[in-house]
């Protein structure tokens, strides 16, 4: 608080700190005020820390911390009802429970500063004698409402990759108030993370898969048109199901031609399709060089037209290649379509340089 002198738009100093005593129902001025509290109150900024202390700043490099006495009311604590008992460093887990967002935003100063704490902070604490503390990134909260009572909430959290393997105590903190701790084991970091890919990651995966599928078909078309190369030379493509043996050329071609876009099957099947495309593309690039002259490959996609109350037609993919120089395939396009006219769907044309 600050003094009021009765003058309009007057912001007098210093800032005075009071402590609320719930037993007496009164505000009591602290006997010792912070050394940096000689400024008007509008310069003050308060931040509630995960350990329940309050950080005070007046905008200068000098900071002070207020540490309250006693303990919070047990009814205020977040509660963890479901958690992973073991998780790898760098991996993502999920927590379920109640009051993950606390009872209020805790801190705010009009439109000048926002330092709300109505979200779960996930803490890992190792056992003695280390007593190391790690704070995990929490995200994808089920909600941001406060004082939600018995409503079950959830959040995802990611264990820092630098966390050493071992036994830890896990807690959720909201408004500087920590839940009861739960036992959890942190395992060595692995390559795979136990979470589903995000929408952006799925979009990128599809884009890469689409690119590789198109490039493999274009390279196969290019190789099949050369007199000095043959698709029968695809003899060193490893079998995605058994890396100790190679596929026969006819199995490689059948495997590539059976791949659809978007990819179908479970995660293991899609990973096998992607691995096959990469292996085949690597071998085809070796067969394609050295090229003579210039070869430019095009991929044209004719998108279906969306009509009212009519499902969008699946894309019709047409590829063709243009070759310059002796031994290259001639310009060809399977079932070419006229693309002019308002009654035709739009075309997106991609050009890729294969070899020079």
SS3 34: coil
The pLDDT of residue 139: 93
State the Cα–Cα distance between residues 255 and 165, nearest whole angstrom.
42
Count CA within 13 A, CB hemisphere, residue 233.
15
Low-confidence stretches of the chain (pLDDT beneath 70): 1, 190-196, 290-356
CB 118 within 8 A of CB 177: no
pLDDT digits (tens, 9 = 90+) for 70-117: 889 999 999 999 999 999 998 899 999 999 999 998 888 877 788 899
The pLDDT of residue 39: 80
Core vs surface per residue 317-345: b (16+ CB within 10 A) or e: ebbbbbbeeeebbeeeeeeeeeeeeeeee
State the Cα–Cα distance between residues 323 and 275, nearest whole angstrom.
29
The pLDDT of residue 324: 38
State the Cα–Cα distance between residues 75 and 58, nearest whole angstrom.
33
The pLDDT of residue 13: 79
Fold of 74-187: Immunoglobulin-like (2.60.40)
Report pTM.
0.52
Q: Residue 114: left if φ>0, alpha if ψ -120 to 50, beta else—which one?
A: beta
The pLDDT of residue 196: 66
Domains of the chain, by residue range, sit at 18-66, 74-187, 199-355
Q: What is the radius of gyration, based on Cα positions, of the chain?
A: 32
């Amino acid at each position: 608080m600050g003094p009021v002198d009765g003058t309009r738009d007057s912001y007098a100093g210093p800032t005075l700190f009071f402590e609320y005593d719930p037993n007496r129902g009164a505000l009591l001025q602290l006997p010792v005020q912070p050394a940096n509290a000689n400024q008007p109150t509008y310069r003050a900024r308060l931040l509630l820390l995960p350990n329940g202390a309050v950080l005070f700043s007046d905008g200068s490099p000098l900071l002070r911390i207020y540490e309250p006495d006693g303990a919070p009311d047990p009814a205020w604590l977040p509660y963890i009802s479901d958690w992973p008992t073991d998780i790898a460093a760098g991996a993502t887990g999920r927590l379920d429970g109640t009051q993950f967002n606390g009872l209020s935003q805790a801190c705010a100063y009009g439109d000048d500063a926002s330092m709300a704490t109505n979200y779960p902070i996930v803490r890992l604490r190792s056992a003695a004698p280390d007593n190391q503390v790690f704070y995990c990134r929490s995200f994808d909260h089920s909600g941001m409402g406060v004082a939600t009572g018995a409503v079950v909430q959830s959040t995802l959290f990611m264990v820092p990759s630098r966390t050493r393997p071992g036994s830890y105590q896990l807690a959720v903190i909201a408004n500087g108030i920590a839940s009861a701790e739960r036992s959890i084991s942190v395992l060595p970091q692995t390559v795979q993370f136990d979470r589903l890919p995000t929408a952006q990651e799925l979009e990128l995966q599809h884009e890469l898969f689409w690119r590789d599928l198109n490039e493999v078909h274009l390279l196969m078309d290019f190789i099949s048109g050369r007199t000095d190369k043959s698709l029968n030379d695809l003899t060193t493509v490893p079998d995605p199901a058994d890396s100790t043996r190679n596929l026969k050329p006819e199995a490689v071609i059948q495997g590539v031609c059976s791949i659809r876009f978007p990819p179908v099957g479970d995660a293991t099947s899609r990973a096998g399709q992607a691995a096959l495309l990469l292996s085949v593309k690597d071998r085809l690039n070796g067969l394609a060089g050295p090229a003579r002259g210039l070869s430019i490959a095009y991929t044209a996609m004719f998108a279906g037209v969306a009509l009212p109350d009519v499902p969008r037609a699946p894309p019709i993919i047409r590829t063709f290649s243009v070759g310059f120089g002796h031994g290259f395939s001639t310009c060809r396009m399977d079932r070419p379509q006229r693309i002019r006219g308002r009654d035709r769907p739009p075309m997106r044309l991609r050009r890729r340089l294969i070899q020079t």
